[in-house]
C-alpha cells in the first residue's frame, strides 16, 4: 500500500487546544498520530456563511469516518505497533478523538474515528469538544479492550502438568535393578 502524503494541505490548531492540558499531556507519537488522522480529512468547498463574502471556504466532509491504520502508521513513522496503540488510547483518553466504529471483523474492516477539534473547517458543536474538560474528566472507559482470545483453552496444560512424557528411564542404567552404595573397606 502506497501512502500518499498531502503536502499542499494543512491544518492549524487553535491556541485553546495547543495550550490545553489535554494536548500538553500527549506524547510525541500521539501528536504524530493526531496529525496523521487530520491529514485523512476530505475537504469540500462551500460558500461562505456571510452574504457579502463571495469566497468559498473548505469544510471537512468525512469527520467520523476517518481511518488511519496501524500498518500505515508503522510505515510512515517507523514506530512499532504498541506505540500506535498507546498513542490512540491516549488521544481517546484526553477526548481529542472518539472511535465511531471498532473494525477488525474481517480483512479490510477498519476502525473509524471522529476528531473532536472545532475549527473553521470542521463543523462541530461546542459541547462535543471533550478535551476542554480533560483534567477533571477522562474517557478511559471508551478505550476498546482486546477481545478474549480463548483459542486452545481445552488443550492447555492442567495445573501440575509439565508437558514431559512420564517414563522412567533411570532403571535402564542401574545394575540388577538397584544401586548399591559405595562401601568403605574396614
51, three cell numbers = 452574504
On whether residue 170 sits in a domain, the answer given is no
Residue 12 has pLDDT above 70, yes or no: yes
DSSP calls for 53-117: ---EEEEES-TTSB---HHHHHHHH---HHHHHHHHHHHHHHTSEEEEE---SSTT---EEEE--
Quick one: pLDDT at residue 1? Answer: 46
64, three cell numbers = 467520523
On whether residue 40 sits in a domain, the answer given is yes
On whether residue 185 sits in a domain, the answer given is no
- Helices 28-38, 70-77: inter-axial angle, 10-degree rounding: 110
Which domain CATH number covers 25? 1.10.10
User: Domain limits at 27?
Assistant: 15-142
On whether residue 3 sits in a domain, the answer given is no
Phi, psi of 145 (to 5 degrees): -90, 150
pLDDT tens-digit profile of 20-70? 898 899 999 998 888 888 887 776 666 556 565 566 666 666 777 888 888
Quick one: pLDDT at residue 26? Answer: 92
Q: Which of 41-55, 107-121, 126-140, 161-175 has the lowest mean pLDDT?
A: 161-175
Total number of domains in the chain = 1
* Measured distance CA(122)–CA(27) in Å, rounded: 24
On whether residue 169 sits in a domain, the answer given is no
Candidates 61, 59, 66; CA nearest to 35 is 66
Candidates 15, 149, 34; CA nearest to 93 is 34
On whether residue 2 sits in a domain, the answer given is no
On whether residue 95 sits in a domain, the answer given is yes
* Measured distance CA(3)–CA(91) in Å, rounded: 22
pLDDT tens-digit profile of 141-184? 888 887 766 666 667 767 666 666 565 555 555 555 565 566 66
On whether residue 57 sits in a domain, the answer given is yes
Amino acid at each position: 500500500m502506497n501512502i500518499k502524503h498531502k503536502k499542499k494541505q494543512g491544518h492549524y490548531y487553535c491556541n485553546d487546544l495547543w495550550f490545553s492540558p489535554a494536548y500538553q499531556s500527549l506524547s510525541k507519537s500521539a501528536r504524530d498520530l493526531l496529525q496523521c488522522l487530520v491529514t485523512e480529512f476530505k475537504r469540500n468547498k462551500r460558500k461562505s456563511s456571510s452574504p457579502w463574502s463571495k469566497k468559498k471556504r473548505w469544510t471537512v466532509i468525512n469527520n467520523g469516518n476517518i481511518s488511519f491504520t496501524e500498518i500505515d502508521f508503522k510505515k510512515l513513522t517507523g514506530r512499532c505497533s504498541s506505540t500506535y496503540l498507546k498513542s490512540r488510547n491516549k488521544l481517546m483518553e484526553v477526548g481529542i478523538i472518539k472511535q465511531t466504529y471498532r473494525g477488525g471483523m474481517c480483512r479490510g474492516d477498519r476502525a473509524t474515528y471522529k476528531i473532536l477539534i472545532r475549527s473553521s473547517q470542521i463543523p462541530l458543536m461546542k459541547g462535543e469538544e471533550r478535551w476542554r474538560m480533560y483534567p477533571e474528566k477522562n474517557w478511559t472507559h471508551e478505550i476498546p479492550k482486546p477481545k478474549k482470545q480463548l483459542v486452545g483453552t481445552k488443550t492447555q496444560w492442567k495445573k501440575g502438568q509439565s508437558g514431559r512424557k512420564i517414563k522412567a528411564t533411570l532403571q535402564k542404567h542401574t545394575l540388577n535393578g538397584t544401586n548399591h552404595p559405595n562401601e568403605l573397606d574396614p
